[in-house]
């Protein structure tokens, strides 16, 4: 089961990280307005996600990834809150507000899953 979770997270993080560079404007839009350097934040978080994804898929450096991933997920949580508060579309798709708010508890589940990969 741990292998399946690791591969699921790896594919998801790699895809999300690549998306930061293919569609940066969508990610810049969800960086809270009070934070400076939104382009740099998007680039750095994208690089981290690509590294996490590749490491998990290749099963290399997973101890470091699983120890740091919960903190990373917590660090990007304000972007999800900002997205829900401002009703920002997910990429090109405008979602109902309740869907954006429903995504917030999913972040907690992702954090818990990341912690389980390390146990």
pTM of the complete model: 0.90
Nearby residues of 78 by Cβ (< 8 Å), 6 or more positions away: 32
Residue 118 has pLDDT above 80, yes or no: no
Model confidence pLDDT, tens digit, residues 58-115? 999 888 998 999 999 999 999 999 999 999 987 778 889 999 999 999 999 999 988 8
Q: Where are the domains of the chain?
A: 2-118
Residue 48 has pLDDT above 90, yes or no: yes
Q: Which pair of tokens denotes residue 40?
A: 């740099």
110 touches 72 (CB < 8 A): no
What pLDDT does 119 receive? 63
What pLDDT does 117 receive? 81
């Amino acid at each position: 089961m741990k292998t399946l979770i690791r591969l699921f997270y790896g594919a998801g993080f790699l895809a999300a990280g690549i998306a930061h560079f293919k569609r940066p404007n969508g990610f810049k839009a969800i960086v809270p307005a009070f934070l400076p350097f939104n382009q740099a934040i998007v680039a750095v978080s994208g690089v981290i996600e690509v590294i996490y994804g590749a490491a998990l898929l290749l099963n290399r450096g997973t101890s470091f990834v699983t120890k740091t991933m919960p903190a990373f997920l917590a660090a990007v949580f304000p972007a999800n809150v900002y997205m829900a508060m401002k009703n920002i579309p997910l990429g090109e798709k405008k979602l109902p507000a309740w869907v954006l708010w429903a995504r917030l508890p999913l972040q907690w589940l992702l954090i818990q899953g990341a912690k389980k990969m390390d146990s």
